[in-house]
């Protein structure tokens, strides 16, 4: 007799549900591991909320912390954080795809669809090949970054080979996966004038944040931009634009700030500005004290954190593709065109609705969370807004108020990090599984807009 009760996988009728459930399970496992006494340097159990916040920050590759990573966590705890960052960066569904391949050598339809949802590939037939490429490419990039960092720590800072290798591997994983966890209490401020370390970290973060489909296409056709897909063209164009915008803005606003760029020479200021422009895209490291930057720099950072990086990459935010397509939608509307064209391709109406939905949901979520956190804490609006956008964009930067927002504030930021990692549209799809087809059309009526 066959039981009428559906099996566990059958309860998840939509691929987005599997993504949400997998990330939730990863956060739960991370919380349990970080709650163990062995995970702390003092050998005492960590408060559950602190463990939850740290686990969510690692899985969601954010980097916000309520305790100092280097002094609070033991080597075991640091390894757990690195492992959670790796899992979050690759995507739990991508890892599940790889494990399925190792065990059975084949993929079921449900697993392929779930992996497609997480990796945002354009064809289900690409999932199996892409899973292998993502895994190998990620390891290769992290290995290169780890070797460069290890060498610098040995040569430039007198670290033993073992310690240098540990630092190199940890921060290579943290940089490529945009998790932002650091094993020094001052983040990367001590390396502000070291181009070897700063550029290694920055390049690793940029490559990881571009998005795997874009990186693979650039590797194949970097000499032929005319053959690039719309996804790659928008991602590269907006990424370069934002990097230049951020660098110039931070140079202009912080050039004479005695608490940030002021003490640096001209070359150091340029390096610091570039590094500071890269990090809001979701990497979360800093070479100057964010809390000492001018409010105008905070506002520019808010914008960069909200936009984030590329689709299907390790970065968060609403994505550069979203903001790029939104610009084309606005431009088409201003010109009175009935279709949105990008290059020699037309943007489907379904994609246009997704762009508007993601942007509006992101703005609404940030607004509600900012209001809530303002009501819960005594901090200023600019500080709270910065913290909220950093959590939602999984950027991991902070003006210094993260430990002081209280338990309710920590739980709110945890939810924001979770939503920011899996994406507003993915979460919305998981909650609204019953898609209804309307078999009739209502009469059209023009409404005054504006």
Range of the domain at 337: 9-427
- Predicted pLDDT at 444: 81
- Predicted pLDDT at 101: 46
* Residue 259 CB-half CA count within 13 A: 6
Which tokens hold the place of 275? Answer: 């590094």
432 inside domain: no
- The closest of 425, 433, 436 to 118, measured between CA atoms, is 425
Look at the chain and report how many structural domains it folds into.
1
The position carrying tokens 């709110």 is: 412
Q: What is d(CA 280, CA 300) in angstroms, rounded to the nearest whole number?
A: 9
96 inside domain: yes
- Predicted pLDDT at 401: 95
443 inside domain: no
Q: What is d(CA 441, CA 338) in angstroms, rounded to the nearest whole number?
A: 20
Is the separation of the CB atoms in 411 and 49 below 8 Å? yes
439 inside domain: no
Is the separation of the CB atoms in 116 and 122 below 8 Å? no
Q: What is d(CA 170, CA 82) in angstroms, rounded to the nearest whole number?
A: 6
DSSP codes, 125-176: GGHHHHHHHHHHHHHHHHHHHHHHHHHHHHHHH---HHHHHHHHHHHHHHHH
Q: How many CB atoms lie within 10 A of CB 6?
A: 10
* Residue 203 CB-half CA count within 13 A: 13
Q: What is d(CA 283, CA 209) in angstroms, rounded to the nearest whole number?
A: 8
Segments in the chain below pLDDT 70: 1-16, 92-130, 424-438
Q: What is d(CA 40, CA 74) in angstroms, rounded to the nearest whole number?
A: 5
Residue 264 makes CB contacts below 8 A (sequence gap 6+) with 192, 193, 272
Torsion angle defined by CA atoms of residues 181, 367, 355 and 232, in that order, rounded to the nearest 10 degrees: -30
447 inside domain: no
The position carrying tokens 């100092």 is: 68
Q: What is d(CA 194, CA 203) in angstroms, rounded to the nearest whole number?
A: 14
Summarised one tens digit per residue, pLDDT across range 263-312 is 999 999 999 999 999 999 878 899 999 999 999 999 999 999 999 988 77
88 inside domain: yes
Q: How many CB atoms lie within 10 A of CB 450?
A: 2
Q: What is d(CA 36, CA 34) in angstroms, rounded to the nearest whole number?
A: 5
- Predicted pLDDT at 183: 95
- Predicted pLDDT at 364: 94
- Predicted pLDDT at 49: 96
299 inside domain: yes
């Amino acid at each position: 007799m066959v039981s009428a009760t559906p099996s566990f996988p059958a309860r998840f009728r939509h691929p987005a549900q599997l993504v949400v459930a997998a990330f939730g399970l990863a956060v739960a496992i991370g919380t349990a591991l970080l709650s163990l006494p062995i995970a702390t340097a003092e050998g005492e159990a960590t408060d559950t909320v602190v463990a939850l916040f740290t686990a969510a920050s690692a899985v969601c590759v954010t980097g916000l912390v309520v305790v100092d990573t280097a002094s609070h966590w033991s080597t075991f705890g640091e390894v757990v954080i690195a492992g959670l960052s790796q899992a979050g960066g690759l995507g739990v569904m991508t890892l599940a795809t790889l494990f399925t391949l190792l065990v059975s050598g084949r993929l079921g339809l449900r697993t392929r669809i779930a992996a497609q949802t997480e990796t945002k590939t354009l064809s289900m037939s690409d999932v199996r090949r892409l899973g292998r490429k993502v895994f190998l490419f990620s390891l290769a990039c992290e290995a290169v970054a780890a070797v460069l960092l290890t060498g610098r720590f040995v040569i430039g800072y007198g670290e033993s080979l073992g310690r240098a290798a540990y630092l190199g591997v940890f921060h290579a994983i943290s940089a490529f996966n945009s998790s932002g966890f650091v094993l020094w209490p001052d983040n990367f401020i001590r390396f502000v004038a070291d181009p070897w370390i700063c550029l290694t970290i920055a390049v690793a973060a940029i490559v990881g944040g571009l998005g795997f489909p874009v990186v693979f296409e650039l590797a194949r056709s970097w000499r032929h931009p005319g053959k690039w897909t719309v996804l790659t063209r928008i991602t590269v164009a907006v990424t370069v634009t934002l990097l230049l915008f951020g660098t110039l803005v931070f140079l202009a606003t912080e050039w004479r700030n005695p608490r940030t760029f002021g003490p640096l020479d001209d070359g150091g200021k340029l390096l610091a500005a570039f590094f500071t422009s890269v990090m809001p895209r979701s990497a979360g490291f800093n070479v100057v004290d964010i809390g000492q930057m001018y409010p105008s720099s905070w506002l520019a950072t808010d914008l960069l954190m909200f936009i984030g990086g590329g689709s299907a990459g390790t970065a968060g935010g609403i994505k550069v593709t979203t903001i790029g397509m939104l610009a084309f939608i606005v431009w088409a509307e201003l010109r009175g065109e009935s279709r949105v064209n990008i290059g020699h391709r037309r943007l489907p109406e379904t994609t246009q609705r997704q762009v508007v939905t993601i942007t509006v949901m992101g703005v609404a979520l940030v607004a509600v969370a900012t209001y809530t956190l303002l009501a819960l804490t005594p901090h200023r609006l600019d500080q709270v807004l910065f913290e909220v956008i950093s959590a939602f964009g999984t950027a991991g930067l902070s003006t210094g108020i993260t430990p002081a927002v209280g338990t309710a504030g920590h739980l709110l930021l945890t939810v924001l990090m979770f939503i920011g990692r899996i994406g507003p549209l993915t979460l919305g799809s998981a909650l609204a599984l019953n898609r209804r087809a309307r078999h009739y059309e209502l009469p059209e009526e023009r409404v005054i807009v504006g």
